[in-house]
């Protein structure tokens, strides 16, 4: 009888502890699964040459939710200034443009930040971005919780496997940001 009572008491304690842990002790705060339907995949950056003032970060964001969201900012340990940019043709020159309102991530869609288009811009670098040294970043969204990830750093001028290294044909048109690799 003592053994049955001990097993029942242990089972009850285990279930109540699991329920408390699942709800975090509060019904007011959503769990991470409830606060974000966004997935971030293929995060990467290119190494920069010595003296580069800036570098680019690239990734893919998929919104599995039913509500549009917006990437509104990012932060990284390598700089105090991370901006969201796009590339656009001005006459016959490709130029970068800062997007202060961020990038829309429509419900049910995927948005890719890649060379020659939308990207993160790491400004005022105090040291080069080094190949093989991942860059921890935090992505901030209008509705979803922030997402932390690491950009894998590939060699200068390279792209991760499966991406076309020649897609970045605009590298010589960044005069407004100084020398950079992205």
Examine residue 172 and state whether it is found in any structural domain, yes or no.
Answer: no
Count of structural domains, the chain: 1
Query: Which are the contacts of 23, defined by CB distance < 8 A and separation ≥ 6?
Result: none
Q: What is the pLDDT of residue 89?
A: 86
CATH number of the domain to which 85 belongs: 2.60.40.1890
Strand partners, 88: 95
Examine residue 29 and state whether it is found in any structural domain, yes or no.
Answer: no
Examine residue 88 and state whether it is found in any structural domain, yes or no.
Answer: yes
Decide if 76 contacts 127 (C-beta within 8 A): no
Cα–Cα distance measured from residue 176 to residue 28, given in angstroms and rounded to the nearest whole number: 47
Examine residue 100 and state whether it is found in any structural domain, yes or no.
Answer: yes
Examine residue 24 and state whether it is found in any structural domain, yes or no.
Answer: no
Q: What is the pLDDT of residue 61?
A: 96
Q: What is the pLDDT of residue 161?
A: 65
pLDDT tens per residue across all 182 residues of the chain = 444 444 334 443 333 333 334 444 433 333 222 346 999 999 999 999 999 999 999 999 999 999 999 999 999 999 999 999 999 888 999 999 999 999 999 999 999 999 999 999 999 998 999 999 999 999 999 999 999 999 999 999 888 765 544 444 444 334 344 444 44
- 38-46 vs 110-113, strand pairing mode: unpaired
Examine residue 78 and state whether it is found in any structural domain, yes or no.
Answer: yes
Examine residue 10 and state whether it is found in any structural domain, yes or no.
Answer: no
Examine residue 3 and state whether it is found in any structural domain, yes or no.
Answer: no
Q: In Å, what is the CA distance from 41 to each residue of 28, 67, 110, 126, 148?
A: 30, 20, 10, 27, 11
Structural domain containing residue 118: 36-157
Cα–Cα distance measured from residue 35 to residue 142, given in angstroms and rounded to the nearest whole number: 11
Tokens representing 52 are: 């580069």
- 147-154 vs 135-141, strand pairing mode: antiparallel
Phi-psi region of 119 (alpha: psi -120 to 50; beta: other; left: phi over 0): beta
């Amino acid at each position: 009888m003592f053994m049955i009572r001990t097993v029942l008491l242990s089972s009850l304690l285990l279930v109540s502890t699991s329920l408390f842990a699942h709800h975090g002790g509060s019904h007011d705060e959503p769990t991470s699964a409830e606060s974000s339907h966004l997935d971030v995949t293929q995060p990467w950056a290119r190494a920069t040459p010595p003296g580069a003032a800036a570098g680019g970060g690239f990734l893919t964001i998929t919104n599995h939710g039913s509500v549009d969201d917006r990437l509104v900012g990012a932060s990284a340990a390598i700089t105090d200034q991370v901006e969201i940019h796009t590339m656009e043709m001005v006459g016959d020159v490709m130029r970068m443009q800062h997007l202060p309102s961020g990038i829309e991530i429509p419900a049910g869609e995927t948005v890719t930040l890649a060379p020659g288009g939308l990207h993160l811009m790491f400004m005022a670098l105090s040291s080069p971005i080094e190949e093989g040294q991942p860059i921890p970043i935090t992505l901030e969204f209008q509705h979803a919780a922030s997402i932390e990830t690491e950009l894998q750093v590939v060699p200068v001028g390279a792209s991760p496997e499966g991406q076309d290294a020649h897609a970045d044909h605009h590298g010589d048109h960044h005069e407004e940001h100084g020398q950079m690799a992205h």
